[in-house]
C-alpha cells in the first residue's frame, strides 16, 4: 500500500467520525503514532472510539480540521 493510500484511509476514518458527530477529546503522541480519542457529541451514542494515526499527514489533517473549526471540537487534552 502506498503512503498516500495509508493517509487516505486514516483521513476518511477521521472525517467519517466527525461527520457522525463525534468530538476529539484527547490526542496522545508516542513512538507508535498518535492515539486520538473520540466521544459522541450528544446524539445518544455511547461508544468512545480510539483511532491510531500512523501517518504524519493524517495527524496534520486532524489538527487542521479541529483548529480550523470545520467541526465542533471538545477541549483537547494532549499527552506527550
Kindly give the confidence (pLDDT) of every residue in the chain, 80 residues in length, as a single tens digit, with 9 standing for 90 and above: 789 899 999 999 999 999 888 989 999 999 999 999 999 987 566 789 999 999 999 999 999 988 887 554 455 565 66
Answer yes or no: pTM beyond 0.75: yes
Distance separating alpha carbons of residues 50 and 30, to the nearest angstrom:
14
Q: How many other CB atoms are there within 10 angstroms of residue 32's CB atom?
A: 10
Is 50:37 a contact under the CB 8 Å cutoff? yes
Count CA within 13 A, CB hemisphere, residue 2: 3
Confidence (pLDDT) at 72: 47
Confidence (pLDDT) at 46: 72
Distance separating alpha carbons of residues 33 and 24, to the nearest angstrom:
16
Amino acid at each position: 500500500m502506498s503512503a498516500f493510500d495509508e493517509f487516505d484511509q486514516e483521513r476518511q476514518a477521521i472525517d467519517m467520525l466527525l461527520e457522525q458527530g463525534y468530538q476529539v477529546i484527547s490526542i496522545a503522541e508516542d513512538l507508535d503514532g498518535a492515539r486520538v480519542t473520540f466521544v459522541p457529541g450528544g446524539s445518544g451514542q455511547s461508544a468512545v472510539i480510539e483511532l491510531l494515526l500512523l501517518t504524519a499527514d493524517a495527524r496534520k489533517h486532524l489538527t487542521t480540521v479541529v483548529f480550523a473549526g470545520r467541526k465542533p471540537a471538545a477541549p483537547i487534552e494532549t499527552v506527550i
